[in-house]
Amino acid sequence: MKNRILLIIILLTPMIMQAQQKWKLWGVSEAGILTGSYGPSGDLRLQGGLEKKGWMFGAGAAYDGYRYETFPVYGQIRKMFGKKKMKPFLTGSFGANFETEDDNPYDNMVFASSNSSIWAQPAYTYTPGIYAELGAGLAFRTHKTFGYNLSFTYTRKTLTEGNTYMIMNGDGAGETTTSSTKYLLNRWAFRIAMQID
């Protein structure tokens, strides 16, 4: 039995070495400026994966500070063009967008009117949404395994905010009300990155 296992390892070693030569590991860390209808903000992203013949497949995670602080997790694909030290590329990502907290700064406020008052001590909840982007960039090779990227992308994140609060009427009785708001946050992103492969 030991001889068979050893023979299998010996036979598979050249194929494993060949596969490692065809596929390369890559990693990209990015910092960006996001701008849209809510004004400028920033994001930090880290992604990595495998590359073969200019095609880069991977996954990443990010901190996104635009409008609501969120943590996107996504898959990514890039296509590099050319074999020079300066290569243009196309990129696309798709994944899920997660809210960082369930609290709202307007908790414990009381609003009153002549006919009724709203006891605003709502419970806020956030449902994850989608995260997506599409864009292009330029990769600068400064070393055999190291370089910089500049990219410009159109990106979207969504998020659903739900809240439950009590509406009090004049005789002291109350009614619980629930509402939800879906946010579609479209932005332009300009990023600078370091790439290792």
158-175: pLDDT as tens digits: 999 888 777 766 666 667
The answer to whether residue 95 scores a pLDDT higher than 80 is yes
What is each CA distance from 91 to 53, 88, 126, 155, 156, in whole angstroms? 15, 10, 29, 11, 14
Domain tally, the chain = 1
SS3 content of the chain, % helix, strand, coil (to 5): 10, 70, 20
Quick one: tokens of 22?
Answer: 């065809």
Let me know if residue 69 belongs to a domain. yes
Helix (H) or strand (E) holding 5: helix 2-22
pLDDT tens digits for range 10-25: 655 555 555 556 889 9
* Structural domain boundaries, residue 88: 24-100+125-159+181-196
Let me know if residue 40 belongs to a domain. yes
Let me know if residue 11 belongs to a domain. no
What pTM value is reported for the model?
A: 0.77
Domain CATH number, residue 140: 2.40.160.20
Let me know if residue 139 belongs to a domain. yes
CA torsion angle for 160, 28, 188, 63 (degrees, to 10)? 30
